[in-house]
Chain A
Amino acid sequence: MKVTSGYPDYMLKSIKLVEEKREKNMSKPVKPMSMKAREEILSMYHPDYMKGTKRELKVGIDKGMLLYNGIVDLLEAKPVLDPKDVDLSKIDYDVDLLFIGGGGAGTVAALFAHESGVPKDKILIVTKLRHGDANSMMAQGGIQAADRPEDSPTLHYLDIYGGGHFTNKPELARALALDAPGIINWHEELGVMYDRQDDGEFQELSGGGTSRNRMHSAKDYTGMELMRNIRDNARNLEIPVLEFCPVAELLMDDKGQVAGGVAFNLETFEYYVIRAKATILATGGSGRLHLANYPTTNHYGATGDGLIMAYHVGANLLDLDTIQIHPTGDAYPEPLVGILSTEKIRGLGAIPLNKNGDPFVFPLEPRDVESAMFIQECKQGRGIVTPTGMPGVWLDTPMIEILHGEGTIETKLAGEVRKFKRFGIDMTKHPILVYPTLHYQNGGVEINEKTETRVPGLFAAGEVSGGVHGKNRLMGNSLLDFNVFGRRSGIYAAKYVKKAKIGKLTLKHLDKYNQMLEQANIKPAKAAPIILPEYRGEMTISRALDIF
């Protein structure tokens, strides 16, 4: 049977209205909202403010903290590893630095640790899937850095801090803003092909919640271009990487330091004991937990393992009472639901419109506000509902061609064009349908400017960490985050291991955690970390036999 091609008739009727009002909509843009209006809309329509999405954690150092249910479920689950199953007297890998996660943060960290003098045979990256399978690879829109004369790191700082509702750790926001130009320069040295003007200056666009145009891009494959270069460099340097071997739990020593991890080979089911003088947690985010039942833009391995492992050894968490929903997830066609359409589309001038073809929001509010406005529009009946019941609003992409000339979309949004073309939709001629999707884990394991957690020997960088973005991250700051804090963690961890001494390895913290669960009267139904999400058909699972 033939699958969907293009839009059904009733949607085309709505598109007709979009087209009729296009000129008017472009000439009369909607103004940004006041702080008060922003707060109001968030409280009514953002999942962070909804009842029933969160609850208090009953165990561990952050006992009493309010977190999303899906995260509490895993923190109150039984540690997946039984210490009795692991023989710690046989060490499979003995290194100075263990990097858990082969995405942006982990790879950048390993590169800078190596540059700081740690020899490659004393470095090990372990990763759940392949090296580079990470949200880093998928980031499309760009990376922020204040390098234009009309911009400054101070303004960048103000945007980060205000965008995060003034909940960020200020010293982390400062590091993010001040290190940014240096990171772009490092990328130039690696050979990243940024979009440039003829005179060599970067083409810089605006993103939601940014006061200056400072988003650097590489078409709409920015994360992929960064990750390709970073990974290529790591491969040239022969930095050791263990693929399909996620770390299931961290190891500690008898002095209370983190001392490596136990990796699990997904293909042979055997474990490896990895002893390390310092461990850098770079496991990324948790979109695949589908918090608040949202679809997600995240890669397959984004199951929040790092949060759980870190909590088991006594690290504390921040801001996991918030999630970032990205306003422009795809709502149509069905196979694309939840996949991201980049913020760059709005950065280039496309305006969100309702089913009547009317604008209802400034296109570049911070992501949480923009999302809440989309949800309101749909809840109040002005959205378009797809044949499968998915609501959405239009994003009027053809405006880009009018603003910047024909062919702009094809050159600047090649990935997006390709994606929709497969389903018979030409985004240069027709708008696309969007609805918020789960995109980013704002908070995570608390770190300081040196990326240290509160547990000696454990560093964290990238999406798994907390404090950088506070309760809401701005666009273009996550690619920046993994570079800035990946680099810092590599440098500081390299320094740390010069003096570090590891004692006797132990997994006693897991026994202790089980006791804490018992004392809190929790009877865990699950085990965590979960390592991979479960998408098999219910029919199959219900018939599965556990005999092999």
Chain B
Amino acid sequence: MTKKEQVLLEKPDVKKAEDVEKKAGTVEVFIMGKSYKVPAGLTIMKALEYAGYRYIRGCGCRAGFCGACSTIYRIEDEQKLGFDLACQKVVEDKMYLVQLPFVPAAKAEYDIEKLKPTESIILEIYPEIARCVSCNTCTKSCPQDIEVMKYIQRAVRGDIAKSAEISFDCIQCGLCAMRCPADIKHYHVSQLARRLRGKYMDTRSKNLSKRLKEIESRKYDTEIEKLMKMDKKEITELYKNRKIEAEEEGKRVVK
């Protein structure tokens, strides 16, 4: 068997882009300057694969969560640069595109246990945030539409909670940091803000600490052991007749 045959053999028989997009026609994209005709309606990621590229970098979860596939593009004759995720953005005709394989942006090292959520703590660890010139380029380059500049401004002012809240949906793709004229590493800054808030500022659960004590005192050990010793019929019966909270409520939600 040739290598080619093996590759074809390994290719999974899932819905083929070729079949799906026959009707939709093709668009011309320029992958790092080279022209390829690809089916319309594909994401940038699938279009690159259709064209014959096999990803090593620039591809992770393929669903908009991991930030591996940040892509920079410009439509021919357009003034503006576009920023998006290759796995989420659909190709457009005459799109010139390149992916960012890596973002050089050092993260500060800290021991979260030794930090205190003071107003100046983020400034102490990432002093460069004070250099923000409010140009808003970070916000414009965010594929998640997060108000990046706003959470940096909040961090400068010492509002950790708000900075954490605004930045919550950050997928850490790094496009903000690559565009910033003040060399701020926004996504590292917000990681710190969120950890400080989660650890020191949000009220803790009393139920959880009670339960931990119960588990420590081995309250449930015998109960569970009893279930483990049941024969299949007995435990099936127990399982079948257990009360389902979501059903009892009629509505499946805690207020």
Contacts and interface: CB of A to CB of B under 8 A. Distances in A.
Interface of A: 1, 3-4, 29, 31-32, 34-35, 129-130, 132-133, 135, 137-138, 145-150, 152-155, 157-158, 161-162, 166, 170-171, 174, 177-178, 181-182, 184-185, 188-194, 196, 199-206, 210-213, 218-219, 221, 223-225, 228-229, 232-233, 235-236, 238, 244, 266-267, 288-290, 293-295, 297, 299-300, 334-335, 337, 339-340, 346-349, 362-364, 388, 390, 403-404, 414-415, 418-419, 422, 525-527, 530, 532-542, 544, 546
Given A129-B60, A200-B203, A206-B252, A154 B224 contact: yes
Given A138-B61, A532-B54, A201 B215 contact: no
Interface of B: 1-4, 6-18, 20, 24-25, 27, 40-43, 46, 49-57, 59-66, 68, 88-90, 92-93, 107, 109-112, 144-145, 164, 168-169, 171-172, 191, 194-200, 202-212, 215, 220, 223-224, 227-228, 232, 235-236, 238-240, 242-247, 250-254
Given A161-B239, A228-B191, A188 B204 contact: yes
A537 B17 contact: yes
Contacts of A290: 12-14
29 contacts: A3-B41, A145-B208, A147-B205, A149-B207, A157-B224, A161-B227, A162-B235, A166-B236, A178-B215, A182-B212, A188-B208, A190-B199, A191-B197, A200-B205, A201-B207, A202-B208, A212-B245, A221-B169, A225-B168, A334-B20, A337-B15, A340-B63, A422-B88, A526-B9, A534-B54, A535-B54, A536-B52, A537-B17, A537-B50
Contact of A267 (B56, B90, B195, B224): B56
A356 to B, nearest CB: 23
B112 A190 contact: yes
A539 B176 CA distance: 37
Contacts of A157: 224, 227
A306 to B, nearest CB: 18
A202 B253 contact: no
Contacts of B13: 290, 293
B47 to A, nearest CB: 10
A3 B40 contact: yes
Contact of B144 (A129, A182, A418): A418
Contact of B236 (A35, A148, A337, A404): A35
Contact of A188 (B1, B10, B64, B198): B198
A266 B56 contact: yes
Contacts of B7: 534, 536, 541, 544
Contacts of A346: 252
Top 10 nearest A-B pairs (CB, nearest first) are A200-B203, A191-B195, A540-B52, A162-B239, A191-B199, A191-B198, A290-B12, A206-B246, A133-B60, A193-B198
Contacts of A204: 254
Nearest to B12: A290
B15 A166 contact: no
B87 to A, nearest CB: 9
A132 B51 CA distance: 28
Contact of B65 (A221, A229, A244, A347): A221
A530 B54 CA distance: 14
